[in-house]
Every structure is written in structure tokens, then in C-alpha cells.
Amino acid sequence: MNSSYISSRGIAAEFLGTMMLVAVAVGSIVMPQLVWGSVWAPEFVLISAISVGFVLFALIEALSPLSGAHFNPAVTIALTASGDCPVKKAGLYVCAQAAGALVGVLLVNVFFHDAVQGLFFISEIDRSSIYVILSEFFCAFALVGVIFGCVRGGSAKTSMVVGLFVGGMILATSSNMFANPAIVLGRVFTEAACGIAPMSALYFVIANAAGAVAAAIVFGWLYPKKLRAGEKCDAFDCSTKDGQCGCNGDPGAIGP
């Protein structure tokens, strides 16, 4: 698929994929909290890690052929910074992702709340600690780095790697890895334990975008698309055809 090509199906795939991802990210916390009455934080984190990791793997497998399966404005920003995704296409993808996030959290609120209580809530959970914000920068940096490494390194297991990586990072980081401005947006509008206050959300979005751009720079250097004269990739031998390096397919695609 040509990374510069814009299709309505690709935009729809970004909307639907982000909608389902946000619904799972929020619903996996709402369900044990409101249905089971659980107050045990480790249970929330474990359920979220498993749910998000599994569903992300499935979504990338299903929708990657249509859009590249970004489902994350930070990933789209990183691909734009690296020159793999045109600005116009990136703008349409980000709009679709934001709309998908809002619909996703709306669906969760419908599934688990009485309509009389309202369909949108504004979270009051403060997550503005510098340590948590640094965690979000690191999570976005690491996520984009893994994606670049898998895609440009020619991995056939990118969808599984990304799903496992996200699940593991949810368990291992102080922010429980949002690393996705669309998920941050969705979590503003929930009263669940995974929510985030609007001002904290702004800090998270800035950290995610900065981490994504930093990763695009670092991993773009580690895995260049084209080699200089006489240069050869050290990590993988891919310089045998027209100076190309890495990408065997669409450089804007996450899945295989």
C-alpha cells in the first residue's frame, strides 16, 4: 500500500480501531470496578494489561491492511516526523482517532451506567506528577521504537510484538502506559479508576507527542530507509537493492 494514498476505508479503519481500543482500555477497568465491586488496584492493572494487549494484537491483524493500524496519534505523529506519513493523511487519521476515542468511551458509559447518570463524565483524577509524565514520555518513546524496529527490520510478527509490549508496559510503568493521546482523551470522560483530569491529560498528550518524535529521530537513524553511498546496515543486511534499507512493505504500516 502506498503510504501517501488516502482512502475512506483507511480513515474508517482508524476510527473503528481506535474506538474499540479505547472501549477495551476503559471497559477493562470499569467492569471489575462497577460490576465486581473490586477496589484492588493490582487487579485493575492486570485485567487491563491482558485485555488491551490481546485486543490490540487482534485489531492490528484485522485492520492493518486498510490503514497501517496506527490507532494512536503519537504513532501517526512519529510516522509524519519520519516522512512516512504525509501531513494531510496524518491530519485525517488523527481526527478519526479522536472521534473513535470519544465514541469508544461513550459506548462504555452506555454499557455500564444508567442513562440518567449521564453519558459523559469528567474525571477528577490528578496524574500531573513529574514522575508519571516522564513515564508517559518513556512509554511513547519505547512504543514507537518497537514499531519502527519491527517494521523497518522486516518482522513478520509486529502485531503480536506490539500487543505483548503494550500489555507488559501497562504492568511495569508508573503511568500504566497510556502512551496514546486518543486513549488519554477517552479517559478524560470516564469516572472509572483509569480516568485522568483534563489538565493532567494535556501534560500526557505533550509527553506522548515528544516521546514519539524523539523515537522517530533515534530509531529513524538506527533503521534508515535509504543508505548513503558505501554504507551498509549493521543490524540487518538489507542494502543489496537500490540502496534501500529495512522496509519491505509500506513504511507507514504497523502490522505485517
Name the band, by pLDDT with cuts 50, 70 and 90, for residue 256: very low
pLDDT in tens, 109-145: 998 875 556 677 899 999 999 999 999 999 999 999 9
Are 97 and 18 spatial neighbours (Cβ–Cβ below 8 Å)?
A: yes
User: Cβ of 143: how many Cβ atoms within 10 Å?
Assistant: 25
Return the biggest CA–CA distance within the chain: 68
Domain chopping of the chain, boundaries: 8-222
Q: Which of 252, 231, 227, 224 is nearest to 242 (CA)?
A: 227
- The position carrying cell 487491563 is 48
For the entire predicted model, the pTM comes to 0.86
**Which CATH number is 8-222's, of 1.10.1040.10, 1.20.1080.10, 1.10.3720.10, 1.10.287.1400?**
1.20.1080.10
Mean pLDDT within 178-205: 96
> pLDDT tens digits, residue range 224-236?
876 555 555 554 4
Question: What is the Cα–Cα distance from 226 to 43, expressed in whole angstroms?
Answer: 46
Q: Which three cell numbers stand for residue 12?
A: 474508517
104 touches 194 (CB < 8 A)? no
pLDDT at 241: 47
